[in-house]
């Protein structure tokens, strides 16, 4: 598999006589792939049933004819205005009960049958027309499921569908009442028609009710996507892709990914640092124009898992964007760094969003590789540099990492349903674990919670995994890996009850959670030897071996052979100590990194990635500011440097 660059392009935005030159310029810049079509429904079918696809035929011809491979998107993220007249109740409804109107994008409810049929219809139309087109080399379904908080809808169609989902799952209303514990506060239902969506209740609704609704909401996305995937499969042999977003957790990406061939994601490092990351003001100031040093890597590793090994960056930030609260520009070198880092994590394609900055509408302040008037924007030179550098390791494949983290979407739903402490968040905890492993210079794999093959791993972390199946623990142990479970692992059943056998319920580990406290900021509890437990602290008992304790004597980390349990949310110092203990016990090497520098192995290549604004020298190797050094056997193979 080669490593290619791509770009997102909107032929419908530009006069047809510009297409050929654009295509030629793309090719000249080293770009191999071009994504089109995903927002063009109103130009494909301006009047219901009257198709006008000739322009798209020609656009594909021009682009493909220039040598570009085309990714064609189904246009279902932006149904035309007439669709709302046809299906007035297709709009999603927000938590306050207001329909979310036409006038931007993603204006549909996943539970609306009529719209799903429309989505199937237009998918079939483009699939049949272009499924065997020789220029079309991949397909994208819809666009960024979940962006703009669009998974959860409190519409009437969603209510009806949820009642059906419950009936299918529980069979009788009595079973559901028992499962959810509806006797509590007399919340019992007498028929499935009694079940409402869990918004606008007087105080918080039953967590079992909410978690079921969250599962349902995820399932609706999977179903919606599968309808398109099935139709595409009938008509094409090319790979199917969806472009996920960063830290969108409202649906199970593994489930959607199961029906597709390649996972891709849209990587906006600077926007994400600003709008979706818990970090100190100092950290955000330090990485203001670079993005967080672990956020992209985390998603690369996550989507490599979602894509069952095959993954892309479908949209790569090429300059300042328009949608974050503040939108600074990347430092010179960062566009190249982000791109190379993706390849280091095994990406097949890195595709920039977008070719040319649009002079109008919502994204007119979103940079492209070109300025609105067609000159080169700063990102272009870096893309060209990447195309050049990447040739040095074009054929190297991603290899297994020494450690893995279990990632489980349903756990995020669970802990958002009942955080118990305002500082607790599943992603935050998992990402803190990931950061600690990266600070230790480790490459990391992320695996789904249904993974049972851990051969080759020295350690597996499963923080905050809401429901713990004993087979997971056994599988980790069978592989000879240390399993680090907790905090808050095994804390509930799939129906959101406290497990009858107590928490965490790790087989073969006598450790038990006696009591839980959640903590406000600045109330961290000191650990003997250094570090604190923040946000979340469990009081443990049991005969397992104590490894770490609070200064007040309470146990923090316990182990029985390879089965470890961690009873609190560690700060960075404590997390580093824990990783140290695990690496000792698991007999694998760590490479402690300075802040801002990160390391990733790709096969036998070592990538040193410097997110800092200044040069850094590490182990005798100088890595330039915002630069990447690729080494093989300690020798520099390639290097990016825009400074």
- CB atoms inside a 10 Å sphere around CB 21: 12
Report in angstroms how near the CB of residue 505 gets to its own copies at its nearest.
11
Do 322 and 299 form a contact (C-beta atoms < 8 A)? no
Which listed option, its own copies, Zn ion, none, makes contact with residue 82 (CB within 5 to 8 Å by class)?
its own copies
Q: Is 360 in the site for its own copies (CB under 8 A)?
A: yes
CA of residue 144 relative to chain centroid, distance: 11
Which listed option, Zn ion, its own copies, none, makes contact with residue 425 (CB within 5 to 8 Å by class)?
Zn ion
Choose the stretch contacting its own copies; rule: CB under 8 A; options: 398-406, 407-415, 440-448, 493-501. Answer: 493-501
Structure tokens at 641: 């440097």
Which listed option, its own copies, Zn ion, none, makes contact with residue 427 (CB within 5 to 8 Å by class)?
Zn ion
Residue whose C-beta lies closest to Zn ion: 427
Report in angstroms how near the CB of residue 535 gets to its own copies at its nearest.
9
Q: Active site includes 315?
A: yes
Which CB, 76 or 411, lies closer to Zn ion? 411
Q: Is 425 in the site for Zn ion (CB under 5 A)?
A: yes
The strand pairing partners of 533, in sequence order, are 525, 570
Q: Is 323 annotated in some ligand binding site?
A: yes
Report how far residue 636's alpha carbon sits from residue 132's, in angstroms, rounded to the nearest whole number. 43
Largest Cα separation within the chain, whole Å, is 76
Structure tokens at 141: 């379904």
Q: Is 190 in the site for its own copies (CB under 8 A)?
A: yes
DSSP label at 550? B
CA angle 594, 597, 623 (to 5 degrees): 110
DSSP label at 90? G
Report in angstroms how near the CB of residue 407 gets to its own copies at its nearest.
24
Which CB, 19 or 213, lies closer to Zn ion? 213
Which CB, 2 or 104, lies closer to its own copies? 104
Q: Of 45, 118, 250, 315, which residue is the catalytic one?
A: 315
Structure tokens at 632: 């093989």
Q: What is the DSSP string of 128-184?
A: HHHTT-TTEEEEE-SS-TTTTT-S----HHHHHHHHHHHHHHHSSHHHHHHHHTTTG
- CB atoms inside a 10 Å sphere around CB 634: 9
The strand pairing partners of 312, in sequence order, are 264
CB-based contacts of 98, cutoff 8 Å, min separation 6: none
How many residues make contact with its own copies (CB under 8 A)? 105
Report how far residue 78's alpha carbon sits from residue 60's, in angstroms, rounded to the nearest whole number. 20
> Contact letters (x/-) for its own copies, 312-351, by CB under 8 A?
-------xx-x--xxxxx----------------------
Report in angstroms how near the CB of residue 156 gets to its own copies at its nearest.
14
Q: Is 626 annotated in some ligand binding site?
A: no
Using a 10 angstrom Cβ sphere, with 0-12 exposed, 13-18 middle and 19 or more buried, the burial of residue 560 is middle
Q: Of 144, 250, 341, 538, which residue is the catalytic one?
A: 144
Choose the stretch contacting its own copies; rule: CB under 8 A; options: 186-194, 406-414, 542-550, 614-622. Answer: 186-194
- CB atoms inside a 10 Å sphere around CB 521: 9
Q: Is 206 annotated in some ligand binding site?
A: no
Under rule CB under 8 A, which residues in 144-173 are in contact with its own copies?
A: 147-148, 150
Which listed option, Zn ion, its own copies, none, makes contact with residue 326 (CB within 5 to 8 Å by class)?
its own copies
- CB atoms inside a 10 Å sphere around CB 502: 12
Do 351 and 314 form a contact (C-beta atoms < 8 A)? yes
Q: Cα-flanking dihedrals φ and ψ of residue 6, to 5°?
A: -140, 180
Which CB, 259 or 408, lies closer to Zn ion? 408
Q: Is 226 in the site for its own copies (CB under 8 A)?
A: no
Q: Is 427 in the site for Zn ion (CB under 5 A)?
A: yes
Report in angstroms how near the CB of residue 514 gets to its own copies at its nearest.
7
> Contact letters (x/-) for its own copies, 526-545, by CB under 8 A?
-------------x------
Give the position of tokens 């199917």. 240
> Contact letters (x/-) for its own copies, 57-86, by CB under 8 A?
------------------x--xxxxx----
Which CB, 365 or 526, lies closer to its own copies? 365
Report in angstroms how near the CB of residue 112 gets to its own copies at its nearest.
14
What's the chain's Rg over C-alpha atoms?
Answer: 25
Of 133, 199, 494, 573, the one binding its own copies (CB under 8 A) is 199
Of 113, 278, 514, 572, the one binding its own copies (CB under 8 A) is 514
CB-based contacts of 407, cutoff 8 Å, min separation 6: 302, 305, 430, 446, 447, 448, 449
Q: Is 500 in the site for its own copies (CB under 8 A)?
A: yes
Which CB, 516 or 601, lies closer to its own copies? 516
CA distances for 343 relative to 116, 302, 570, 600, angstroms: 36, 14, 31, 10
Q: Is 109 annotated in some ligand binding site?
A: yes
Structure tokens at 266: 């849209």
Report in angstroms how near the CB of residue 208 gets to its own copies at its nearest.
7
> Contact letters (x/-) for its own copies, 547-586, by CB under 8 A?
----------------------------------------
Which CB, 377 or 475, lies closer to its own copies? 377
Report how far residue 204's alpha carbon sits from residue 506's, in angstroms, rounded to the nearest whole number. 30
CA count, 13 A, side-chain hemisphere, 427: 17
Which CB, 21 or 497, lies closer to its own copies? 497
Report in angstroms how near the CB of residue 234 gets to its own copies at its nearest.
25
Do 357 and 366 form a contact (C-beta atoms < 8 A)? yes
Do 351 and 358 form a contact (C-beta atoms < 8 A)? no
Of 134, 202, 620, 635, the one binding its own copies (CB under 8 A) is 202
Which listed option, its own copies, Zn ion, none, makes contact with residue 171 (CB within 5 to 8 Å by class)?
none
Report how far residue 150's alpha carbon sits from residue 92's, in angstroms, rounded to the nearest whole number. 8
Which CB, 425 or 606, lies closer to Zn ion? 425
Report how far residue 572's alpha carbon sits from residue 565's, in angstroms, rounded to the nearest whole number. 18
> Contact letters (x/-) for its own copies, 386-425, by CB under 8 A?
--------------------------------x-xxxx--
Q: Contact residues for Zn ion (CB under 5 A)?
A: 412, 425, 427
Positions at the binding site:
105, 109, 143, 323
Positions at the binding site for substrate:
105, 143, 323
List the catalytic residues.
144, 315
């Amino acid at each position: 598999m080669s490593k290619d660059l791509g770009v997102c392009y909107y032929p419908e935005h530009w006069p047809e006589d510009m297409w050929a030159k654009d295509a030629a310029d793309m090719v000249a810049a080293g770009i191999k792939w071009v994504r089109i079509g995903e927002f063009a429904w109103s130009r494909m079918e301006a009047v219901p049933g009257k198709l006008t696809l000739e322009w798209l035929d020609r656009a594909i011809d021009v682009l493909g004819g220039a040598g570009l491979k085309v990714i064609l998107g189904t246009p279902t993220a932006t149904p035309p205005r007439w669709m709302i007249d046809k299906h007035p109740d297709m709009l999603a409804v927000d938590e306050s009960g207001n329909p979310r109107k036409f006038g931007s994008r993603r204006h549909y409810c996943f539970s609306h049958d009529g719209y799903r049929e429309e989505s199937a219809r237009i998918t079939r139309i483009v699939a049949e027309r272009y499924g065997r087109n020789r220029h079309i080399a991949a397909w994208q379904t819809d666009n960024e499921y979940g962006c703009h908080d669009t998974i959860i809808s409190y519409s009437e169609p969603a209510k009806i569908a949820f009642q059906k989902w419950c009936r299918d799952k529980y069979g009788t209303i009595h079973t559901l009442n028992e499962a959810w514990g509806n006797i509590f506060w007399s919340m019992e239902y007498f028929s499935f028609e009694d079940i409402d969506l869990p918004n606008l209740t007087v105080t918080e609704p039953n967590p079992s009710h909410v978690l079921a609704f969250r599962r349902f909401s995820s399932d609706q996305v999977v179903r919606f996507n599968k309808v398109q995937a099935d139709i595409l499969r009938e008509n094409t042999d090319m790979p199917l892709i969806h472009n996920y977003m960063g830290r969108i957790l409202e649906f199970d990406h593994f489930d959607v990914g199961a029906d597709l061939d390649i996972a891709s994601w849209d990587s906006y490092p600077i926007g994400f640092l600003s709008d979706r990351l818990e970090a100190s003001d100092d950290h955000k100031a330090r990485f203001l124009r670079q993005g967080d040093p672990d956020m992209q890597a985390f998603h690369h590793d996550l989507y490599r898992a979602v894509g069952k090994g095959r993954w892309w960056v479908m949209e790569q930030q090429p300059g300042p964007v328009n949608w974050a609260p503040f939108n600074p520009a990347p430092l010179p070198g960062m566009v190249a760094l982000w791109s190379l880092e993706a390849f280091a994590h095994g990406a097949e394609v890195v595709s920039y969003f977008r070719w040319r900055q649009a002079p109008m509408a919502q994204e007119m302040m979103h940079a492209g590789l070109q300025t609105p008037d067609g000159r080169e924007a700063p990102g272009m030179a870096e893309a060209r540099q990447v195309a050049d550098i990447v040739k040095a390791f074009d054929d190297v494949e991603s290899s297994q990492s020494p450690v893995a983290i279990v990632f489980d979407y349903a756990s995020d739903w669970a802990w958002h349903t009942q955080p118990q402490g305002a500082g607790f968040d599943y992603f935050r905890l998992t990402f803190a674990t990931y950061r600690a492993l990266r600070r230790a210079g480790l490459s990391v794999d992320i695996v789904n919670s249904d993974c049972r093959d851990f051969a080759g791993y020295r350690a597996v972390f499963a923080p905050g995994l809401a429901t713990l199946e004993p087979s997971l623990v056994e599988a980790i142990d069978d592989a000879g890996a240390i399993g680090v479970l907790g905090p808050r692992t095994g804390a509930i059943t799939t129906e959101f009850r406290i497990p009858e056998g107590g928490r965490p319920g790790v087989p073969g580990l006598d450790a038990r959670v006696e009591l839980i406290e959640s903590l406000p900021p600045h109330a961290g509890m000191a650990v003997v030897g250094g570090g604190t437990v923040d946000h979340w602290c469990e009081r443990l008992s049991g005969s397992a071996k104590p490894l770490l304790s609070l200064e007040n004597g309470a146990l923090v980390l316990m182990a029985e052979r390879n089965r470890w349990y961690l009873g609190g949310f560690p700060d960075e110092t404590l997390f580093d100590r824990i990783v140290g203990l695990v690496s000792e016990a698991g007999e694998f090497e760590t490479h402690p990194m300075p802040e801002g520098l990160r390391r990733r192995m790709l096969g036998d290549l070592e990538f040193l990635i410097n997110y800092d604004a200044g040069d850094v020298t590490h182990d005798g190797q100088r890595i330039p500011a915002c630069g990447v050094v690729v080494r093989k056997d300690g020798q520099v193979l390639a290097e990016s440097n825009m400074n």
